[in-house]
Amino acid sequence: MPVINRLAEFHDEITAWRRDFHENPEILYETHRTAARVAELLGEFGIDDVTTGIGQTGVVGVIKGKNGGEGKTIALRADMDALPLTEITGKEWASKTDGAMHACGHDGHTAMLLGTAKYLAETRNFDGTVVLIFQPAEEGGAGAKAMMDDGLMDRWNIEEVYGLHNMPGMPVGEFAIRSGPLMAATDEFEITINGLGGHAAQPHQTVDPIVVGSQIVTGFQSIVSRNRKPLDSAVISVTVFEAGSAFNIIPETATLRGTVRTLSTETRELCEVRIKKMVESICEAHGATADINYMKNYPVCSNHAAPTAFAAKIAAEVAGGEDKVNTEIEPSMGGEDFAYYLEDRPGAFIFAGNGDTAKLHNPAYDFNDELIPYGCSYFIKLVETAMPASA
């Protein structure tokens, strides 16, 4: 049996929660209203325990199975934060806040995990414990890490962790996953080149940071083409180059900023080492110096083999056929802070089709409510299959 029938009765209610979250988006760690509503609903469902304030505004819920919770503990995660964008969908439930909108569908992820919680609290057709993770700040704030720093994994004895993200362009009812690297590590750099300013007509009396910076930008291209293993992807993009103020002045400094995306720890380290070495060497060759701020952000989001195979099997049941689950989707060079959980515990992150909608992070995007029964069924079946009730 694919989608769980009982969810049809919940569909309108879950949709209403989703649209309420959508209308009231909150960015990064500011998910106060959303977290309060999540905690309130979890309380109404009569789950065993609700803790707020984990990782600032994160919420953790616990549901114990028929046997009182003995045995395995599996965590399911939803993200709650919105993006700093102004919505243009014109929908009835469009964001009421200028400069904030749910353009990544985290409103849908949160509502689907709530629907899952309601069903599991009512049926408890499993042995063991389910931990529900509602996290803030997925969009660049490392909310996952903040919750882990507050003891998430050990405090709730989490043994495995699963997450889901909607994917525009893939039909509703289909899934995609892969074992190993799924999403890239997302590091950033800011480099200030300190030269010597002066008159543009007397360049020999200056150290021109624009020329030095240009060579650095060019040099970076050879890290990806000549140092990286060809089959291990990497992207280095310089996205900001700031220098100068007038046509006749050679400036004192130039600033370069950019991002580094990699799919393995090895290549991630390589890029950092080569970038620093190249900046220092090029600056030295020209008599300039550099201040390098290299920021390591999200690690590689890498699915574990056995949980991935298990997740794909559950997805195929929900979708009604193995042909509806792509188990070899190409990795994405975008980032996802679910990576932190997967560095610490076995688990898997899966994509679920959002249908023919606008792309993620686009102001015309909206989560597709038709995905709700599939997302909830995936989580519920995953729990009931991984921890079957003995009686």
Nearer to Ni ion, 104 or 144 (CB): 104
Q: How far is the CB of 40 from Ni ion (least distance, A)?
A: 24
Nearer to Ni ion, 117 or 301 (CB): 301
Nearer to Ni ion, 94 or 104 (CB): 104
# residues near Ni ion by CB under 5 A: 1
| DSSP codes of every residue in 137-188 | -TTTS-HHHHHHHTTHHHHTT--EEEEEEEETTS-TT-EE--SEEEE-EEEE
Nearer to Ni ion, 17 or 126 (CB): 17
Nearer to Ni ion, 80 or 282 (CB): 80
Asked if 349 and 197 touch (Cβ cutoff 8 Å), the reply is no
- Cross-strand partners of 302: 181
Asked if 74 and 386 touch (Cβ cutoff 8 Å), the reply is yes
Asked if 366 and 104 touch (Cβ cutoff 8 Å), the reply is no
Q: How far is the CB of 91 from Ni ion (least distance, A)?
A: 19
Q: How far is the CB of 79 from Ni ion (least distance, A)?
A: 6
**β-strands 289-298, 185-194: how paired?**
antiparallel
| DSSP codes of every residue in 28-96 | TT--HHHHHHHHHHHHHHT-SEEEEEETTTEEEEEEE-TTTT-S-EEEEEEE--BBS-------TT--S
- Of 292, 284, 275, 281, which Cα lies nearest the Cα of 207? 284
Q: Could you say which residues in the range 217-276 bind Ni ion, by CB under 5 A?
A: none
Nearer to Ni ion, 79 or 208 (CB): 79
Phi, psi (degrees; rounded to nearest 5) at 66: -55, -35
Q: Could you say which residues in the range 291-350 bind Ni ion, by CB under 5 A?
A: none
Q: How far is the CB of 282 from Ni ion (least distance, A)?
A: 37
Asked if 141 and 81 touch (Cβ cutoff 8 Å), the reply is yes
- 130 belongs to the binding site for Ni ion (CB under 5 A): no
Nearer to Ni ion, 79 or 127 (CB): 79
Distance from the first to the final alpha carbon of the chain: 21
Q: How far is the CB of 185 from Ni ion (least distance, A)?
A: 16
Nearer to Ni ion, 102 or 228 (CB): 102
- Cross-strand partners of 181: 302
Residue closest to Ni ion when measured from CB atoms: 104
Asked if 256 and 278 touch (Cβ cutoff 8 Å), the reply is no
Q: How far is the CB of 383 from Ni ion (least distance, A)?
A: 23
Which tokens in the block code for residue 275?
């970038």
Q: Could you say which residues in the range 19-78 bind Ni ion, by CB under 5 A?
A: none
Q: How far is the CB of 83 from Ni ion (least distance, A)?
A: 9
* Element at 132 (helix H, strand E): strand 129-135
Q: Could you say which residues in the range 70-109 bind Ni ion, by CB under 5 A?
A: 104
Q: How far is the CB of 134 from Ni ion (least distance, A)?
A: 14
- CA torsion sign for 307, 51, 94, 373 is positive
Nearer to Ni ion, 10 or 338 (CB): 338
Q: How far is the CB of 361 from Ni ion (least distance, A)?
A: 8
Site of interaction with Ni ion (CB under 5 A): 104
